[in-house]
Chain A
Amino acid sequence: MAVKQYDVLIVGSGHSGGMAAKILTAKGISCLMLNAGPQADYERDRTFKSAYELPYRGFNEPGRLPHVFQANEFNANQWVDEKEIPYTYPPDAPYNWVRVRLLGGRSLFWARQSFRLSDYEFKPREIDGSGDDWPISLSDMAPYYSRVEEIFRVVGRKEGWPQFPDGNFVEMNFPPDTETIKRFTELANKQGIQVSKWRYSMGRNGLASSINLLLPDALATGKLDIVENAIVRQVTVDKNTGLANGAHFIDRHSRREMHVKTRAVVLAAGTLESTRLLLNSNIGNSSGVMGHYLIDQMYGVSVVAAVPEACGGKAKPGLMGGSSFIPRFRNLKKSDKRNFIKGYCVGIRSGAGASPNFFPLYGEELQKKLDSYQGACVEGSIFGERVPRYENHVRIDKNVTDKWGIPVLHIEARDGENERNLCKDAADTLDELFHEAGWERICKTDRVNPPGYSIHEVGTCRMGNDPKTSVLNKWCQSHDVKNLFVVDGASFVTCGWQNPTMTILSLSMRASEYMADQMKQRNI
């Protein structure tokens, strides 16, 4: 029997791959999706357990997933095992590469915070003179954001602030703020800091993933086939035309080598896996920029304070609870001169407790402390923007291969003075606001988690108008290989402080529609 013919190969099944499949198949283009891992069966693969029923009593299995701080014994099997697919890094600069290879990828487990980038992120040179602008602006992206927000059913409060672009939100009545949130908002506003609400995707039935919001539509067209456990090791190129003509892949279980031939290729394997695949394929890098400008966001800076009138279980109804969200407020004007560029957002949560590690105490003395602070704390934590730097990069480590013999990535990413100063400002600002509110500081840190921890790694195939300084054009299309598109986070020029998912989805939608149009016109 002759094998089926497909127009487009899509590598990866997360948000970006799912969106590409949905758009392309809707336009009558046949697609084959290869996913490196299996499909999880929520009925079969998941069960409710107590920690004491697990082999390691809820501790992480020793030595497993050392760089996935989000891992615990309950969820350990959802993450990529570093022993199966290792990566290398300098001893003084560990990187937390957090991966999922299940069908649907990380879209199965994301935190659903849903923001648009603003022109402060798309056009940073105009604000702080640093780095490079994207070749697109918010106005180019806005129509796509709106459509994505509709699919993902994003909830948010409209504000009309340029640094926090409003979206196509589901209408919702937000509950009234508690006294602590009101007090904090009032004090922040006095300092010119605008306070809003979190924005998040409701999705459907408690899930906002490609497997329930994107791929079912694509499959319903009859134009999509999905293959599980297909590990792509190389994008292949026609020697005569220089165009991509498919890919070599390996069956995850049998290790059988396969090849699929298609008219075009879409990479959506997740930022660093797409870049790894391109570097291993040795294509698309005439600029020499591929792998460079790796960025993600800084997590870890936080301040926790106790509200005295709530301590000891004395909180009256309406005092504690609730949350608020502060979008970027630093360096919004050229006149805002600080010892760092860019900015950070802050999440505020009221009604938390204290962690045992906050106190140099033990036994009953510690427990009394914890009991007194139970439900009486307000916590502020930040997501900070890192500066894109050429030297923060990935490259192939030819000395190490994964379980399937594919060379792995070497990742080098370090923070600089700008990141340290930004984090210090964030911790000091929060501390000052909490102090003004009359709350007792019980924890303050400007320490940041290792790069990669945010699971928002972007860049390494950045887009631009100049093929000498960028890998992709403004349509996420390779400058070098016209029928090759990279639709995940690899195209980002800056990372912003925002969760990148809405932007990745919108870029993928935009790129896929352009691609379909070009295929229709026979330009691809």
Chain B
Amino acid sequence: MKRRNFVRSLLVAPAGSAALVAAEDSQHPNTQAHDTGKPSPKPNLPTRERAFRAENVPKLQTVQSDLTSNGYQHFFTITQFATLSKLGAVLMPPMKDKPGALDAKAPEFLDFLISVSPLDRQEVYGVGLDKLNAQATDRFHKPFAELNATQVDAILRPLLVARPWSEDFPDDPLKNFVARVHEDLRKATVNSREWADSSKGHPFARGFGRASGFYWRPIDPVTES
């Protein structure tokens, strides 16, 4: 019964609380003896359990879900995702010892990222992927995902725009999409674990934002009411 009470108190008590210390004390043989008024010392047993200390709580090793599982691709249609994957393969291929967008599972990551993005960003992607596929079908009678390099280039190159400032996206919807997806695929690749593993000793990848750095956790956040 006492054992059950102790387990229950562990479940409800915050770490380091008085309740937990009291529960530990209740397991103390000397305390029990004192309660009954009949001390029965056993010289080979410790006289008192160690008090709770936060630093003694084991810190167990965990792994990120990316290492154990694949993202569940659910936002884009099959055709859209195939187009996005083709863009990943073309815009950010593997180079030298660096992984490409497909190695870094950048399309799968963008499927997640866009699915939780505001509606306007979702529309840019949805419309852009559909238009690219429509152009491929019109001009080459096959889906964008099945085009060869020359055919892809014929569609993509006129849509590429030099942008002096990274936040400056073209007004034309398709050019706008191509600029965004290009930037997103590059970033998702360079910020991936696969890229980091290939860059051991070079944690900062220039030109792509921060691949590592000091992360600020939420600081004393306000709980929702």
Q: A residues engaging B (CB < 8 A)?
A: 37-38, 40, 44-54, 56-59, 62-63, 69, 72-78, 84, 102, 229, 252-253, 255, 300, 302, 353-364, 367, 370, 374, 403, 443-445, 447, 449
Contact = CB atoms under 8 A, between A and B. Distances in A.
B182 interface: yes
A48 B212 CA distance: 7
B207 A45 contact: no
A341 B103 CA distance: 54
Contacts of B218: 77
Interface of B: 64, 66, 90-93, 95, 109, 113, 116-118, 121, 156-157, 160-168, 179, 182-184, 186-188, 191-193, 196, 203, 206-220, 222-223, 225
A251 to B, nearest CB: 10
Given A52-B192, A69-B167, A357-B179, A77 B217 contact: yes
A300 B165 CA distance: 8
Contacts of B214: 46-49, 74
Nearest to B189: A57
Nearest to A403: B222
B185 to A, nearest CB: 10
A253 B196 contact: no
Contacts of A363: 90-93
B75 to A, nearest CB: 12
Listed from nearest, the 4 A-B pairs whose CB atoms lie closest are: A445-B164, A51-B191, A38-B220, A360-B160
11 contacts: A46-B216, A52-B191, A53-B215, A77-B217, A77-B218, A102-B219, A229-B220, A353-B207, A361-B160, A363-B91, A363-B92
A56 B216 CA distance: 14
B211 A45 contact: no
Given A48-B214, A362-B90, A57 B164 contact: no
Contact of A45 (B184, B203, B219): B219
B92 A443 contact: no
Given A69-B167, A229-B220, A363-B93, A74 B210 contact: yes
A353 B90 contact: no
A59 B187 contact: yes
B204 to A, nearest CB: 11
A53 B213 CA distance: 11
Contacts of A360: 157, 160-162
A104 to B, nearest CB: 12
A253 B224 CA distance: 10
A53 B62 CA distance: 12
A447 B64 contact: no
Nearest to B221: A77
B183 A356 contact: yes
Contacts of A74: 210, 213-216
A284 B121 CA distance: 44
Nearest to A38: B220
Contact of A46 (B116, B161, B166, B217): B217
A353 B192 contact: no
A56 B162 CA distance: 27
Contacts of B157: 360
A427 to B, nearest CB: 10
A64 to B, nearest CB: 10
Given A58-B211, A370-B207, 14 more contacts: A50-B196, A52-B196, A57-B113, A62-B118, A72-B209, A72-B210, A74-B215, A75-B216, A77-B216, A357-B164, A357-B165, A357-B179, A363-B91, A447-B165
Contact of A355 (B121, B166, B215, B216): B166
Contacts of B223: 253
A311 to B, nearest CB: 16
Nearest to A370: B207
A56 B165 contact: no
Contacts of A75: 216
A21 B196 CA distance: 46
A175 B187 CA distance: 35
Nearest to A446: B164
